[in-house]
Structure 1
Amino acid sequence: MKHSTLIVARMEPHASDDVAALFGAFDETEMPHRMGTRRRQLFKYRGLYFHLQDFDTDNGGELIEEAKTDPRFIRISEDLKPFIEAYDPQTWRSPKDAMATRFYHWEASA
């Protein structure tokens, strides 16, 4: 994997099954490939939601921005609203505003 993004948000306490089902259906379409997503992992911790995506290239964020107008992207964004809310609603305008910044990386040598 060449690039990763980590989105941080708030999630309803018992919503993980619903959120997983929505992404399961979304990931069965060609949308992950259109966005360059190679792997998606969802985590929860004490009301927080972590959405880790791995990409083969460094332009994953650009591809996601391009996909935002696709009806399937719009639909999953709407379907997630009852379960996921912005970590800081006052500053959130797009997923880019909720991305964590990596400040350390280590990887085992081959």
Structure 2
Amino acid sequence: MHSTLIVARMEPRWSTNVVQLFRDFDQTEMPHRMGTRRRQLFSYKGLYFHLQEFDTDNGGERIELAKSDPRFITISEDLKPFIQAYDPATWRSPIDAMATRFYHWEASK
């Protein structure tokens, strides 16, 4: 399994709104189109963390391909009042907000 972590800014009071937007989005076929197997949202002191897990390691690429889909465009627009880029000067697309993993450990089966 592969994962991506998007980091942004969000006031904690907006979490309910963000949850509802993703709850509706995840009822469509879009997560399957992007290869998303699991989505988890976290907040901490004004930061927003969006963890997505994929079966393959091309999740970021599939997100980039899906971003022209009207449903992706709609949720991106709907999230704007609640989620702000961590660094607005450098943000152009979701890939610009993805954290870089620098360590990984997994228990043996």
Normalising to structure 1: TM-score of the pair? 0.97
- Indicate the residue corresponding to 1:92 in structure 2: 91
- In structure 2, distance between residues paired with 1:44 and 1:71: 27
Q: Which aligned runs of 4 or more in structure 1 are off by greater than 4 angstroms?
A: none
SS at match of 2:103: coil
- Indicate the residue corresponding to 1:6 in structure 2: 5
- In structure 1, distance between residues paired with 2:7 and 2:29: 24
- In structure 2, distance between residues paired with 1:91 and 1:62: 19
- Indicate the residue corresponding to 1:46 in structure 2: 45
- Indicate the residue corresponding to 1:68 in structure 2: 67
Q: Count the aligned residue pairs.
A: 109
- Indicate the residue corresponding to 1:32 in structure 2: 31
SS at match of 1:89: coil
- In structure 1, distance between residues paired with 2:7 and 2:59: 17
- In structure 2, distance between residues paired with 1:8 and 1:68: 18
Identity %: 82
SS at match of 2:12: coil
SS at match of 1:20: helix
- Indicate the residue corresponding to 2:14 in structure 1: 15
- In structure 2, distance between residues paired with 1:58 and 1:15: 31
Gap regions ≥5 residues in structure 2: none
What code does the residue aligned with 2:103 have?
Answer: Y
Deviation at 1:58, TM superposition (A): 1.0
- In structure 2, distance between residues paired with 1:18 and 1:8: 18
